[in-house]
Amino acid sequence: MTKIDFYEVLTVSRDANDQELKTAYRKLAMQYHPDRNPDDPTAEEKFKECSEAYQVLSDPEKRAAYDRYGHAAFNGGGPGAGGNPFAGGAQDLGDIFGDLFGEMFNMGGGGGGRKASRVQRGRDLRYDLTREFEEAVFGKEKEITIRRMETCVDCKGSGAARGKAPVTCTQCGGRGQQRFQQGFFSVARTCSVCGGTGTLIVDPCQTCRGETRVQTEHSILVKVPAGVEQDTRIRYQGEGEAGKFAGPAGDLYVVLNVKAHKFFERDGDDLHCVMPISFPQAALGTELEIQTLEGEATIKIPEGTQSGKEFKLRGKGVPHLNSHGKGDLVIEIRVQTPGKLSKQQKELLRQLSETMVVENTPTSRGLFDKVKEMFT
């Protein structure tokens, strides 16, 4: 019997790409599948016919041979003579030896290889959460909303219509592989019809259209612990996207972006800030009120304090993450030189300068520190 051109079988043009071939084949396979046409032998023949056509045209080497020699490429008229559906190229040799080793080490003595699983793990998701400086220091809860793929409720992740189930692939008999004899070797290839799973979805779910998942919005309460830093990642296991075919869900990673504070800078669990004071305050000493993250505190500035001197308030820093205790607040003193002075202020400073004599000659930094200590 004369075979119909494979391109005509799949109703595609000769320059059809892989996606066009796949789409055309799936449409025909669903139309002529024996489970949908139990009493129609003609449909079964058409199903086998379109499966054979797709098996050849979806393989680049076999398609090239078919385009050149037609059906003769596989029945004795071309390079694949002898009824062998494979052209014997390098890719086929890899399959032969791969299958040979599979047979040698298959202790069960079965057909070698496993069926591919449709089940897939869902993707991990990332959510960037911006928090105020104080919220990162003391911790806070925040409800967020994410968009993610969730398992279809109607088909429960099977992809099949309600009351239906995936059917056994008639091309491979549910094994997920097709075997061919090539000389002394048995060659196993993934079934091109079911993709190695051994089953087909003939009646897809109307809700998810056979995709097994639908996109939804989901709210989750994020608990930001006290003491977190910039770029901290908080993992919520199983809160990512659901896997295909009821596969396990991925994880959700909440990545924190902490806003800068108007005057505090963080170094680990310590806080740093700069406090400006006047020359008289530095020379005579004073007490200053300073704002901390927990309220006001008082620091005593002794007389003769130099610019750059640091004072530390214990336990006024950031809480240790997942632990007890807190860091410190470090305050650096900066003595400010006034840019403008009144006549009275200038006169007072002239009088003061006459009582303070400093030898203005260059010296090393080490010696300068010793001289500074003499004045303090």
Residue spans per domain, the chain: 6-87, 125-154+213-258, 265-346
Q: What is the mean pLDDT of residues 98-116?
A: 42
Is the pLDDT at 249 greater than 80, yes or no? Answer: yes
| d(C-alpha 65, C-alpha 250), whole Å | 43
| d(C-alpha 227, C-alpha 134), whole Å | 10
| d(C-alpha 151, C-alpha 243), whole Å | 7
CATH code linked to domain 125-154+213-258: 2.60.260.20
Residue 273 banded pLDDT, cuts 50, 70, 90 = very high
Is the pLDDT at 76 greater than 80, yes or no? Answer: no
| Percent of the chain with pLDDT strictly greater than 90 | 41
Same topology, domains 6-87 and 125-154+213-258? Answer is no
Supply the pLDDT for residue 262: 93
- 155 token code pair: 């088909």
Is the pLDDT at 85 greater than 90, yes or no? Answer: no
Supply the pLDDT for residue 359: 63
Is the pLDDT at 132 greater than 90, yes or no? Answer: yes
* Residues near 294 by beta carbon (within 8 Å), at least 6 away in sequence: 316
Supply the pLDDT for residue 138: 93
Supply the pLDDT for residue 182: 61
Q: How many residues does the chain have?
A: 376
**What phi and psi, each to the nearest 5 degrees, are found at residue 28?**
-70, -40
Supply the pLDDT for residue 310: 95
Residue 170 banded pLDDT, cuts 50, 70, 90 = confident
CATH code linked to domain 265-346: 2.60.260.20
Q: What is the 3-state secondary structure (H, E, C) of 66-110?
A: HHHHHHHHHCCCCCCCCCCCCCCCHHHHHHHHHHHHHHHHCCCCC
CA distances from 53 to 28, 62, 71, 196 (A): 11, 11, 10, 18
Tokens 């004599």: give the residue.
357
Supply the pLDDT for residue 2: 62
Supply the pLDDT for residue 252: 95
Is the pLDDT at 291 greater than 60, yes or no? Answer: yes
| Helix and strand numbers, DSSP H then E, in the chain | 9, 15
Least reliable range by pLDDT among 94-98, 145-149, 192-196: 94-98
| Percent of the chain with pLDDT strictly greater than 70 | 82
Decide which of 85 and 191 is more confident.
191
pLDDT digits (tens, 9 = 90+) for 306-346: 999 999 999 999 999 888 999 999 999 999 988 888 999 88
State pTM to two decimals.
Answer: 0.58
Residue 355 banded pLDDT, cuts 50, 70, 90 = confident
Average pLDDT over the chain reads 82
Q: Is 331 exposed, middle or buried (CB count within 10 Å of its CB: 0-12, 13-18, 19+)?
A: buried
Least reliable range by pLDDT among 58-62, 121-125, 292-296, 358-362: 358-362
Least reliable range by pLDDT among 22-31, 128-137, 221-230, 236-245: 22-31
Residue 42 banded pLDDT, cuts 50, 70, 90 = confident
Is the pLDDT at 113 greater than 80, yes or no? Answer: no
Residue 89 banded pLDDT, cuts 50, 70, 90 = very low
Superfamily of domain 6-87: DnaJ domain (1.10.287.110)
Which DSSP letter does residue 218 get? E
Q: Detail the DSSP E strand segments found in 122-182.
A: 125-131, 140-151, 167-168, 177-182
| d(C-alpha 254, C-alpha 258), whole Å | 13
Supply the pLDDT for residue 116: 65
- 305 token code pair: 């304090």
Q: What is the mean pLDDT of residues 146-152?
A: 94
Residue 35 banded pLDDT, cuts 50, 70, 90 = confident
Supply the pLDDT for residue 372: 53
Neighbours of 195 (CB within 10 A): 14
Residue 117 banded pLDDT, cuts 50, 70, 90 = confident
- 190 token code pair: 């993934």
Q: Is 338 exposed, middle or buried (CB count within 10 Å of its CB: 0-12, 13-18, 19+)?
A: exposed
